[in-house]
Structure formats: C-alpha cells, structure tokens
Amino acid sequence: MMVIILRNDIIEILNNRKGEFISGEELSYLLKVSRTAIWKHINILRKEGYEIESVHKKGYRIVENYNSLLPGELIGRLQTQTIGRNIIYFESIDSTNDYCKQKGNDLSHGTVVISEEQLLGRGRLGRAWASPKGEGIWMSIFLKPHIPPLEGTKLTQIAAAAVCSTIRNVVGIDTLIKWPNDIVFNGKKLCGILTEMSAELNEIHYLIVGVGINVNTLYFSEEISDVATSIAVEIGKTVDRKTLVTNILKVFEELYEDFIIKGSIKKTIAICKEFSAILNKKVNIIRGNSIKEGLVIDITEEGNLLMLMENGEKEVIQSGEVSVRGLNGYV
C-alpha cells in the first residue's frame, strides 16, 4: 500500500508542475525516499501507462496523457470524499463488474474499478456490452450500503440520475433516462447501467454499480448500430472522458449520501422524472415471453413504474426482469 501511495504522490507532484522538469533529488527530498527508489517507481509508473520523460541533469517531466483514465489523471480532479478515492485501473479486463465480484469484500467501500476496454462486458440478463478500447467509460462503483437488499435497485436510479444530469451539464445535450437502466439520446442508447449485489435475506454484503458510457465511439457493430449511439456521434467531436468520470462520481456521491445518510431518494426520483424518456408515454413491458402495453403515469418514490394498463387497471412495475420498449422501436 505504501508504495502505491508513493507512486500517487510522485504523479501528483509531476502533475502539479506540468511542463517543468523536477530533479530526482528534489523528488527524493520531498518524498523522503532515495533517488534510486524514485527511479524505480518512475519505471513502474511508465509500465502502468504514464508517459514520463527523463533528461540527464534536469530530471523528470510528465507528458499530459489526454486519452487515458489513469488514476493519477483522475484523482487530482476528483471532488468526492469517498467515491473514487481508491481507483483500480486496467488497460484491458474481462468485465469491471466481474473483477469486483471476484475481489468481493477485499475491496473497500467507494472503490472505482475502471478499464480502457472490456473483453466480456456484460449487460442485464447475460447480454453482451460492447466496450471498445479507449472509446468509452467502463467502470464499476463498489459499495457497502447498510440498506435492505430490496432497496438495492435504487442505486441504479441514483447512477442513472448522476450520469444523465452530468452529460446534460458537461456536454450540453438533452439526454433522457429510459427507466430503469439506460441513458438515451434521440431514441438510442448512450449508456447502460448494471447493478449487481451479493446479499443475504436482510443484509447486503456488497453492491456493484456498473456503468458503461459510449463517449467517443464512432462506429458500432451491425448488431447494435440501430440501438446504440455515442456522445461523439451526437455532437460531432470527441469529449474528455476524465471530466465526465469525475463529475459523474461527484453527483453520484451527493445523491448516494442523500439516500444513505438522510434516507431520501427524492432528489434522484425528481431527476429521473424530469428527464424521463417514458413518462406519460405508452410502452410495452416485456417479461420473458409476455408483452403488455400500458401508459406510464408515474415513477414512484420507490423508483418503480406506475402504469395504466390496457385493461384500465393500475399496475406497479419493478425493474428486476422487465424490459421496456417504446411502441415504435427502442424508446
């Protein structure tokens, strides 16, 4: 652990004085370790993906890595207390949610696992989630909330509210939330959320909120090109993923604390309603082989859908196993 802290400190110093060379001697003085130790850790940081120049008699200088989500690039911009204060980064992994599951309680609350690509990214019900290298945000937030397991689905609503409002604020496009777990724009999917948990009947061991956002992807495979879009496709230019990640985590933490500490999900539900893609619309509710049509009349304080069904009866729909489709296509 100490060595990781030391490497984070090296990155912080180099980042704070970007463009400047800092001698090995100064780093060794500031961090109270030998120059050889500094040199050793600089080499490890390079292997992790940081671009650090070294020039004889001048020292070390970090090269801005605009395209990466390396922890050292994120930590300095984070404005959270706990969420994302520990970031585990991969260039490539099967699935960030699976990594969290494998590590389970070894991870600390608030840890964020992030990867440049996922080889086996997953959606709900065993569906695949395309996660091409460097093009999106593929991350999992690991949490240990003291709430009843049935309340766990509210974390999906919190994440959806955080992602949707952040994209609106940072990028300026009118994204909408397609209950329960997608963020859409122009009827296509920009982001999907997969919440999974390990729990007993009345206690959550841990909960994983997986968030996949298509940020700079320009081409989608044929299978998903009808349903998928990205921020870059929609606005015609690439977007800095770091700004998005750090802002999403900030809003997520605010809404999460409202829920866990103050016991209030009101703000989250208000966002989910304000930016809902399906409120006051007719949709099909698909559960296995059954399809039912109805009008969405509310999103309840519990985060469920209140529907007026074709037979005139009102029905509360919980997220779990249902898919929601617009009558003419995806939304």
Q: How far is the CB of 43 from ligand BTX (least distance, A)?
A: 30
Q: Which residue's CB is nearer to ligand BTX, number 80 or number 95?
A: 95
Quote helix, strand, coil % in the chain, to nearest 5: 35, 30, 40
Would you tell me the crossing angle of helices 35-48 and 24-31 to the nearest 10 degrees? Answer: 100
Q: How far is the CB of 178 from ligand BTX (least distance, A)?
A: 9
Query: Residues 60, 89, 138, 142: which binds ligand BTX (CB under 6 A)?
Result: 138
| Number of neighbouring beta carbons within 10 Å of residue 223 | 10
Residue found under tokens 């689905």? 153
The Cα–Cα gap between 212 and 113 comes to 12
Query: Residues 70, 80, 88, 95: which binds ligand BTX (CB under 6 A)?
Result: 95
Annotated binding site: 95-97, 118, 122-124, 189
Euclidean distance between the first and final Cα of the chain, in Å?
Answer: 47
**Interface mask toward ligand BTX for 274-313; x: CB under 6 A:** ----------------------------------------
Q: How far is the CB of 228 from ligand BTX (least distance, A)?
A: 3
Residue found under tokens 């961090």? 31
Please choose, out of 119-127, 158-166, 287-295, 301-309, the segment that lies near ligand BTX by the rule CB under 6 A.
Answer: 119-127
Q: How far is the CB of 205 from ligand BTX (least distance, A)?
A: 19
Q: Which residue's CB is nearer to ligand BTX, number 210 or number 303?
A: 210
Give how far Cα 264 sits from Cα of 148, 208, 259, 267, Å: 15, 20, 5, 8
Query: Residues 78, 130, 177, 299: which binds ligand BTX (CB under 6 A)?
Result: 130
Interface with ligand BTX (CB under 6 A), residue total 30
Token reading at 215: 């940020």
The pairing of strands 203-214 and 136-143 is antiparallel
Q: Does 224 interact with ligand BTX (rule: CB under 6 A)?
A: yes
Please choose, out of 11-19, 151-159, 222-230, 254-262, the segment that lies near ligand BTX by the rule CB under 6 A.
Answer: 222-230
DSSP string, 53-109: EEETTTEEEEPP-TT---HHHHHTT---SSTTSSEEEESSBS-HHHHHHHHGGGSPT
Please choose, out of 33-41, 95-103, 246-254, 294-302, the segment that lies near ligand BTX by the rule CB under 6 A.
Answer: 95-103
Query: Residues 42, 162, 164, 193: which binds ligand BTX (CB under 6 A)?
Result: 193
Q: Which residue's CB is nearer to ligand BTX, number 75 or number 227?
A: 227
Q: How far is the CB of 95 from ligand BTX (least distance, A)?
A: 3
The Cα–Cα gap between 168 and 160 comes to 12
| Rounded CA Rg of the chain | 22
The Cα–Cα gap between 184 and 82 comes to 28
Q: Which SS3 state, helix, strand or coil, does residue 51 take? A: coil
Annotated binding site for biotin: 95-97, 118, 122-124, 189
The Cα–Cα gap between 62 and 7 comes to 13
Q: Does 22 interact with ligand BTX (rule: CB under 6 A)?
A: no
Can you give the binding site for ligand BTX, defined by CB under 6 A? 95-97, 118, 121-125, 127-131, 138-140, 181-182, 189, 192-194, 210-212, 214, 224, 227-228
